C-alpha cells in the first residue's frame, strides 16, 4: 500500500475520515453530483466501499458531512464600527458564497441530509455569528440593539429563505432592507 503522505496525527479512523473527505472534495470539483458514487470515492481515497457505508450510511450523508464543514465560517467577521455595517458586510460575503455554484451545491447537499442534526448544526453557525455581532454592538454602546431572535427572524431567515427558494432575490440590496427593518426596533412584543 503506497502511502500518500506522512500520517502523523490521530488514529487510523481520523486518517480514513480525512482521506475520504478529501476524495469527495477532489471528485466534486470534476464531476457533477449524480456522477459521484460511493465506490468511486472509496477507490480515490484508497479505502474499501464497505468502510464508507458502515461509517456514513450512504452517499447523501457523506457529501452532507463534507459540505457542512465547508460552511463553517473560517475567519472572524470584519468590524465596520456599526451593527448595521457588520451585518451588511457579513451578509454580502455569505450571499456571494452561497449563490456561487459550489456554494449552491453545498447548500443542496446539506439540505438533502436525512440527519436533521446536521442541518441544524449548519445554521447554528449563522446564529452564533449573530450573537457575536450583537455582543460587539452592545459593548460599543450602540442604542437600540435588537434581540437575537429578532436578528435571526429579520435577517437570517429571509436570507436563508431566498437562498433556498428564490435565488434571484438573494441580493445585497434586499439584504440592506432586511437589516434596516430589523434595526427599526420600536418593538411590538
Give the binding site for its own copies (CB under 8 A).
33-34, 60, 108, 111-114, 116, 119-120, 123, 152-154, 156-158, 160-162, 164-166, 177-178, 180-181, 184, 186, 188-189
Q: In angstroms, what is the minimal distance from the CB of 165 to its own copies?
A: 4
Between CA 170 and CA 34 the distance in angstroms is 26
Task: Give min distance, CB of 188 to its own copies, in A.
Answer: 4
Q: What residues have CB less than 8 Å from 106, skipping those under 6 apart?
A: 67, 70, 71, 98
Q: Of 121, 127, 129, 125, give the one whose Cα is nearest residue 78.
A: 129
The listed partner (DNA, its own copies, none) that binds 84, CB under 5 to 8 Å by sort, is: none
Is 7 a binding residue for DNA by CB under 7 A? The answer is: yes
The CA–CA distances, whole Å, from 106 to 10, 32, 63, 145, 189 equal 27, 12, 8, 32, 36
Interacting partner of 178 out of its own copies, DNA, none (Cβ under 5 to 8 A depending on kind):
its own copies
Encoded one letter per residue, x for contact with DNA by CB under 7 A and - for no contact, window 26-65 reads -----------xxxx-----xxxxxx-xxx-xxx------
Measured CA to CA, the distance from residue 138 to residue 140 in angstroms comes to 5
Kindly tell me which of 12 and 72 has the beta carbon lying closer to its own copies.
72
> Least distance (Å) from DNA to the CB of residue 112?
14
Give 176's Cβ-side CA count (13 Å radius): 3
Amino acid at each position: 500500500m503506497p502511502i500518500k503522505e506522512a500520517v502523523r496525527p490521530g488514529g487510523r479512523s481520523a486518517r480514513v475520515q480525512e482521506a475520504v473527505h478529501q476524495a469527495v472534495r477532489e471528485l466534486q470539483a470534476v464531476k457533477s453530483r449524480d456522477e459521484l458514487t460511493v465506490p468511486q470515492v472509496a477507490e480515490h481515497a484508497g479505502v474499501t466501499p464497505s468502510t464508507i457505508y458502515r461509517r456514513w450510511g450512504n452517499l447523501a450523508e457523506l457529501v452532507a458531512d463534507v459540505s457542512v464543514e465547508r460552511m463553517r465560517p473560517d475567519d472572524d467577521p470584519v468590524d465596520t464600527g456599526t451593527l448595521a455595517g457588520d451585518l451588511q458586510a457579513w451578509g454580502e460575503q455569505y450571499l456571494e458564497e452561497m449563490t456561487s455554484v459550489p456554494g449552491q451545491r453545498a447548500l443542496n447537499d446539506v439540505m438533502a441530509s436525512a440527519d436533521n442534526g446536521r442541518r441544524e448544526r449548519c445554521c447554528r453557525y449563522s446564529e452564533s455569528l449573530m450573537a457575536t455581532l450583537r455582543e460587539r454592538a452592545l459593548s460599543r454602546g450602540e442604542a437600540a440593539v435588537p434581540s437575537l431572535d429578532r436578528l435571526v427572524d429579520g435577517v437570517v431567515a429571509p436570507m436563508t429563505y431566498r437562498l433556498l427558494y428564490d435565488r434571484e432575490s438573494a441580493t445585497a440590496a434586499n439584504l440592506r432592507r432586511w437589516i434596516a427593518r430589523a434595526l427599526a426596533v420600536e418593538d411590538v412584543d
